[in-house]
């Protein structure tokens, strides 16, 4: 395996903007770093499930992608647009109650419709890992590695949001609009794949 290409792919995939990272930063801005951790741990749990499924069924999923891709894209785009609306409607930290968008369940659920995470897992497994490693212990190690790299990416974005919380809270409405537009852009780019 070309380790330089593999690590470059993993780092770029996990640190670039996507639904996980945008929601993580938004939650940290609204609630602070520590209260945003349930969402991030949800991302980790969901990533473990998705990466495991990618490892177990990579070749099957790779063959089925043309068939299931439109359904995955539509479901993912709908969920991300719902999250964008939740970000737009969000209130300052002291006014929040029962914030689902910052919950473990939201972080976990997002992974099952997050096409970026699913394609990240399928690409890593089918292009880098499975051609060289077939032992279940090795593959499980890569599942853990890929999942924790995704988790590290969301934590980096949460730290960024928490560090700049005072600035972002001063400009809460423009920030919420910008985050919602970024999520809507993620959804739009996913749906654009349907008309290729």
Tell me: the pLDDT tens digits for 164-174? Answer: 777 776 777 88
Chain segment 83-131, per-residue pLDDT in tens? 677 767 766 554 444 566 778 988 898 888 887 888 788 778 877 887 7
Which one has a higher pLDDT value, 25 or 145?
145
Q: How many helices (H) and strands (E) does the chain have?
A: 8, 0
- Measured between alpha carbons, how far is 48 from 46 in angstroms, rounded to an integer? 5
What does each C-alpha distance from 75 to 11, 110, 139 come to in angstroms?
26, 10, 28
Check whether 147 has a pLDDT greater than 80: yes
Give residue 32's region: left, alpha or beta (phi > 0; psi -120 to 50).
Answer: left
pLDDT at 20 over 80: yes
Higher pLDDT, 21 or 186: 21
Q: What is the per-residue pLDDT for 65?
A: 59
pLDDT tens, position by position, 23-73: 898 888 888 899 999 999 999 999 999 999 988 876 565 556 566 656 656
Q: Which pLDDT score is estimated for 114?
A: 84
Average confidence (pLDDT) over 14-31? 84
Structure confidence at residue 49 (pLDDT): 94
Residue that wins the pLDDT comparison between 9 and 61: 9
- CA–CA dist 87, 124 (Å, integer): 31
Tokens 């919950």 locate to 103
pTM score, two decimals?
0.71
- Structure tokens belonging to residue 133: 């490693």
pLDDT, average across residues 133-139: 88
- pLDDT attached to residue 30: 82
Burial degree of 39 (CB within 10 A; 0-12, 13-18, 19+): buried
């Amino acid at each position: 395996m070309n380790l330089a290409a593999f690590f470059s792919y993993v780092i770029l995939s996990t640190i670039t903007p996507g639904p996980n990272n945008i929601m993580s930063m938004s939650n940290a801005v609204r609630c602070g770093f520590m209260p945003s951790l349930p969402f991030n741990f949800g991302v980790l749990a969901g990533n473990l499930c998705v990466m495991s499924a990618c490892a177990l069924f990579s070749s099957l999923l790779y063959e089925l992608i043309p068939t299931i891709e439109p359904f995955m894209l539509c479901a993912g785009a709908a969920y991300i647009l719902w999250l964008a609306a939740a970000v737009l409607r969000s209130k300052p930290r002291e006014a929040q109650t029962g914030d689902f968008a910052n919950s473990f369940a939201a972080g976990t659920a997002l992974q099952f419709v997050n096409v970026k995470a699913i394609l990240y897992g399928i690409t890593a497994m089918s292009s880098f890992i499975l051609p060289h490693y077939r032992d279940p212990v090795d593959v499980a190690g890569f599942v853990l590695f890929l999942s924790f790299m995704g988790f590290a990416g969301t934590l980096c974005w949460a730290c960024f949001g928490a560090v700049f919380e005072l600035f972002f809270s001063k400009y809460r409405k423009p920030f919420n609009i910008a985050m919602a537009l970024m999520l809507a852009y993620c959804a739009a780019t996913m749906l654009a794949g349907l008309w290729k």
